[in-house]
Amino acid sequence: GAVVSQHPSRVICKSGTSVKIECRSLDFQATTMFWYRQFPKKSLMLMATSNEGSKATYEQGVEKDKFLINHASLTLSTLTVTSAHPEDSSFYICSAYPGAGQGNYGYTFGSGTRLTVV
């Protein structure tokens, strides 16, 4: 089946530092990658849509300068949380849809990254 590998699974960083989260599609080409954020006991909220070779599209209220998204290849998308603050602590998860001709596995999710900013 389609697999999305996400790293790191957990990260603790100090306030003011930056953290990069990577999502790789291992056996399919992810033209589009979606980035979600999930607070404890809450739903997944879409942050941005990452398109290979072009700028990401951010949802209303999400600061594009704080959450930098890069989708340089068909198999890799990264989310960088810049100048992290404790309120950025959350579960970040990526998702991709393999698309026509690449199987019928539905939207595939990465394993998530638990970010804790201290």
Binding site for another protein (CB under 8 A): 31-32, 34, 41-46, 49, 51, 91, 93, 95-100, 106-107, 109-112, 114
Q: How many CA atoms are closer than 13 Å to the CA of 77, on its beta-carbon side?
A: 32
Shortest separation between residue 85's beta carbon and another protein, angstroms: 22
User: How far is the C-alpha of 28 from the C-alpha of 14, rounded, in Å?
Assistant: 35
Closest to 110 (Cα-Cα) out of 23, 2, 19, 21: 23
In the complex with another protein, which residue's Cβ is closer, 76 or 97?
97
Pairing of strands 108-109, 57-58: unpaired
In the complex with another protein, which residue's Cβ is closer, 84 or 94?
94
In the complex with another protein, which residue's Cβ is closer, 7 or 16?
7
β partners of residue 109? 95
Shortest separation between residue 28's beta carbon and another protein, angstroms: 11
